[in-house]
Chain A
Amino acid sequence: MDEKLLEIEDLCVEFPTEKGKIRPVDRVSLEIRTGTITGLVGESGCGKSMTARAVMNLIKKPGKMTGGRILLEGRDLGQMGAKERRLLQGREISMIFQDPMSSLNPVMKAGKQVDEVIRLHEGTDAGEARRRTIEMFAAVGIPDPERRYDAYPHELSGGLRQRVMIAMAMICKPKLLIADEPTTALDVTVEAQILELMEKLREGGTSILLISHNLGVIARMCEDVYVMYAGKIVEHAEIGTLFADPAHPYTKGLLRAVTSLQEETALLETIPGNVPQLYELPQGCRFSNRCAFATERCRADEPALRDLGGRECACFLEDRA
C-alpha cells in the first residue's frame, strides 16, 4: 500500500516585499502516501502554513506560487480549470486551521457553516443537510449536537469549535485532510482529544498532513515526517528513524528541545538563535549561523537534499559518513 495520494514537487512560493523578493517556500517536495499521517515540522515562520496554503490555493496576495507542481492522485492541480480545482476543495482535500476562534464566521450558526459544504458539493437539500451535519457533529464528539447546530461560534469553547472545523472538513469524506497546527491554540487535555479524533479519521480512510511546530505531537501521530527550516525541507524520514537517529543538526536540536521539556529538567536546551529573516538568509547552508557543526564549506555552499537510502537529509555532515 504505497500509493501516493499527494505529491508536491519543487514547490516555490514567492512574495515581493520592500526588502526584495522572498521565498517562504523554496523548492519543497513532499509526498503523502494513502492512508498515512504525514508530519511537517519546523519552527514558527519556516513556511509550513504557506506550503499548505499552496495546496489549497489560498496564498494571500501579493504572494504567488512561482514554481513546482502539486499532484493529487496524479492529477496536476495547476493544470486544472479554476472551477474544477475549486470544487476539489472541501470534497477531496480539506483543511483545518490553527485558530478555531477566528476560523469560523462569527455571524453564522455553526451547523450552517458545516452543511454549506454538502449543500455545495452534493446538492443536498436543507433538511437532509441539517440531519447529516448533526450526525457528523455526533461523530466528531460534539455533545448535544442538535443544540450545537444552532449555536454561534462565540457560544462554543475552543475545543468544540475545532471539532466543528473538523466536522466541516470531514463531512464530504475527503481523501486528504490538511491540519495546520490544529491543537496549538488548545489546552493539553483538549489537544489529546482532538489528536485522538484525528487518529480515528485516519482509521476511517482519510490521509492527513499534520503540520506542527511541536515534535511531541508529530511523534505521537505520524508515520512519515518532513522537517522544514527557513523555507526548505532539511530532513525526511520515518518517525522511528528520525527519533532514534536524527541526521540533520536542526532535527537534533528540535529533538533535544522536546526531550528536555518532557523530562522537565531545569536545563531547557533549545536551538540557540532565531530563524533568520528570509531576506537576509546566511550564505551557504541556511542553518549555518545557528549550527554547532558549521564549517567553512557550510558558509559557502548550500547542501542539497540527498537520498540516504530510505531517508533524506540536506547537510554536508552526511557526506563524510
Chain B
Amino acid sequence: MKRLLQAVLVLLLVSLALFVMLRIVPGNPVAVLMGEHANEATIERLTAELGLDQPIHVQFFRYLGGAIRGDFGTSYSLGKPVSQLMGAAFVNTLLLALAAALFAWIVGGLCGLLAAIRKNSIPDRLFMGFSLLGISMPVFMVAMILQYVFGYWLHWLPISGVSDWRSFILPAIALGWNSAGSIARLVRSTLADTLEDDYIDTARAKGLSETAVIWRHALRNTMLPTVTMMALQLSGLLSGAVITETVFSINGIGRLAVQAINGRDIPLLQGTVLFATALVIFGNLIADLLYKVLDPRTRREVKE
C-alpha cells in the first residue's frame, strides 16, 4: 500500500515536471501547428481555445482534472482524443514488450543456465560471445539485420505493420536481444556463484541428482538478482520500443511519441511519456512483489 502511494506520487511529480518543461520551451505550438501562413488573429483564437493563454498552474490543474477522468486532451496533429489514440497503441506496445521480455527471459535464461552448468565448454563460450554481441549491438541494428535475413532474404516473417501474431516475432527478438544478452550473463555468473553455496552441498549430500539440485535449490536463488535487473531494464526496453516500433512500422506508444515530438503535439507527448512512466513504475512494483514471493526473507520478520 505504501509502495502504491509512492508510485502515485512519483507519477504526479513526473507529470508536473513534464508539463512545466514542455511549456518553457520557446515557440508557440499553435504557430507550428498552423504552418507559416497562419495569421495572427487565428493563432490567438486557437491559443485561447486550447487554454494555452492561461497561467501555467491553471493549465496544469485543468490537465490533471482531465487526466483523472481519463481525458488527456486532444492531439493537435491528429485531431483525435489522446486517450483514444493511446488505447489502440497501448495493446501493440504491451504485446511487443511482453513478447520481448518473454524472449529475453527464456533465451537469456536458458543460455545462462547451460553456460553455468558447463562452464568453459564450447556452448558456454559460444553463448557468452553471442551475449556480448547482444549487449553491444544497438536495437536498430539488430532490427535491421533481422528484417534483412528473415524478411527480405528468407521471406519467413513479416517485417512491417501488424497483421497477426507473427508480426510480433521479429520486433520482439530485436527488442529483447539486449536484455537476453545481459540476462544470460547475469544468470551464468549468479548460478555459478549459487552452486558454490553451502546449502547446495547439503542438497547434494542428500543424494539429489545434479539436475534436481539445480532446479530445486539453485535456480530460485539465482532468479532473485535477475528479477531486480529486469525491473531496472524496463525503461531501456521502452526506449528500445520507440526504435523498434519505428523500424517495424508498428502502431504503438513509442511511434506515437515520435509523431508527437515531430509535430510539437504537446497533449500527445504528455500522454505517451506519462504512459511510459506509469509502465516503468508498474514494472518496478511487480518486480518488488515477485521478489517478495521468491525470497521469504523479505516477507516475514526475523524472530529468533
A165 interface residue per 8 A CB criterion? yes
Cα–Cα, bound, A168→B217 (Å): 15
Asked if A155 meets B300 with Cβ closer than 8 Å, knowing A56-B205, A91-B207, the reply is yes
Count of residues in B whose CB is under 8 Å from the partner chain: 26
| Chain A contact residue count (CB 8 A cutoff) | 33
- Known A106-B221, A152-B296, A157-B304; contact A120-B206, beta-carbon cutoff 8 A: yes
Of B76-84, B196-204, B230-238, B239-247, the one touching chain A: B196-204
A152 with B199: in contact, given A120-B208, A168-B206 (CB under 8 Å)? no
**How far does the Cβ of A132 sit from chain B's closest Cβ, in whole Å?**
15
B294 near A: Cβ within 8 Å?
yes
User: A97 touching B217 by the CB < 8 A rule?
Assistant: no
Residue B220 CB within 8 A of the other chain: yes
A102-B197, A106-B199 known; A95-B303 Cβ under 8 A: no
Asked if residues A99 and B205 are in contact (CB atoms below 8 Å), the reply is no
Stretch binding the partner chain, chosen from A19-27, A81-89, A212-220, A308-316: A81-89
Residues of A within 8 A of B262 (CB): none
Q: Which residue of A lies closest to B217 (CB)?
A: A105
Residues of A close to B198: CB separation below 8 A: 97, 99, 102-103
Please report the C-alpha to C-alpha distance between residue A88 and residue B196 in the assembled complex, in whole angstroms: 22
Once the chains are docked, how many angstroms separate the CA of A105 from the CA of B197? 9
Q: With the chains together, A230 CA to B202 CA distance in Å?
A: 26
What distance in Å separates the Cβ of B301 from its nearest Cβ neighbour in chain A? 8
The residue of chain B having its C-beta at the shortest distance from the C-beta of A93 within the complex is: B205
Contacts of B209 in A (CB 8 A): 83, 86
For B197, B202, B297, B304, which residue has the most chain A Cβ atoms within 10 angstroms? B202
Whether A121 lies near B207 (C-beta < 8 A) is yes
- Find out whether the CB atom of A89 lies under 8 angstroms from the CB atom of B207: yes
| Contact flag A87-B207 (CB < 8 Å), given A107-B295, A108-B217, A152-B300 | yes
CB-CB contacts of A138-173 with B at 8 A, as 1s and 0s? Answer: 000000000000001011010000000100100000
A90 interfacial contact with B, CB 8 Å: yes
* B206 engages A89 (CB within 8 Å): yes
In the complex, B302 has a CB within 8 A of chain A: yes
Bound Cα distance from A106 to B296, whole angstroms: 8
B302 and A105 within 8 A (CB): no
Report A's interface with B, CB cutoff 8 A.
56-58, 60, 83, 86-91, 94-95, 97, 99, 102-108, 113, 116-117, 120-121, 152, 154-155, 157, 165, 168
Identify the B interface with A (CB < 8 A): 196-199, 201-209, 212, 216-217, 220-221, 294-297, 300, 302-304
